[in-house]
Amino acid sequence: MSETTKRVLLAAPRGYCAGVDRAVVTVEKALDLYGAPVYVRKEIVHNKHVVTTLQQRGAIFVDETDEVPEGATVVFSAHGVAPVVHEEARALSLRTIDATCPLVTKVHREAVRFADADFDILLIGHEGHEEVVGTAGEAPEHIQLVDGPDDVDNVTVRDPEKVVWLSQTTLSVDETMETVRRLRARFPKLQDPPSDDICYATQNRQLAVKQMASDCDLMIVVGSRNSSNSVRLVEVALEHGTRAGHLVDYADEIDETWLDGVSTVGVTSGASVPEILVRGVLDYLATRGFEDVRPVVAAEESLMFSLPNEIRRDLKAAGMSDKMRHDGSFAETSALH
């Protein structure tokens, strides 16, 4: 195989979504404003590099609220928390900053509204995922989890006329729609959520992978193994024609034998992955002859969220900036043209 045939297809959009960007900057600003330590309940986002970097700056990650000292500052992760967690924090007189992604908050509000109307809510998602735990905690007596298409036969409802589905925001679009199709076959009056629950960033990253998958011998997805949306990207690539796909946190996890007989490598990253990690993968590939990098642009993203109100207020009072930044993977991809 000639060296000149080697190329990289680089997905856009990829990497940080608006909700992740907001959550990470929230912790950074809290450390600047209040000083270390700042406690974070669960991983702020599901990315090993991000968590390690924030730990080095003075963030302390805990699993449960009662691990935070009374009166300390705690940030709730982008995945959201159940109402009981807010109650626990109040009991400990904690200063709370809620960095829940606004798109996850939207699903929480939908759950509350349908529970108030006495619907059975079928929450499509992965058991144990923090987002699912938080959403289910809004109305546990009304919500039952549906963990994929094969779980549909286990669903029971009180009234088939009053059933609605909601979903975790980071799922495979195709698998979720198949789950909904099977649910509707059982419950023809099943209602849809008022707006799409799977977030724009998850959909766009999957769309880019779908567009390039059949042209790739190998897909490298940068992301952590506990990142639902990153894991889904590997699955989507394989489902749409990529011969092999692997998930890596860092370039040094790439096995050089993966490149044997490969002419086209696809590269993308999950929604909680900083662009510096993708650059590391591109540098690794370039040293092995894959210097021709071609963007595959599936959508443009410009959405940005403001920081949580609690920290914006304190930043302004201290005369500090409450401006957001964006990781800029789309802009950097555009510059490759």
Active site residues: 131
Distance CA 190, CA 163 (A): 5
DSSP state of 290: -
Q: Which residue has 């007596």 as its token pair?
A: 141
The identity of residue 86, as a single letter, is: H
Contact 126, 164 (CB under 8 A): no
Max CA separation in the chain (angstroms) = 66
Distance CA 233, CA 206 (A): 6
What token pair was written down for 51? 């968590």
Report helix angle 200-213 to 173-186, nearest 10. Answer: 110
Distance CA 332, CA 311 (A): 29
Distance CA 61, CA 51 (A): 8
What token pair was written down for 121? 């809510």
Other CB atoms within a 10 A radius of the CB of residue 42 amount to: 22
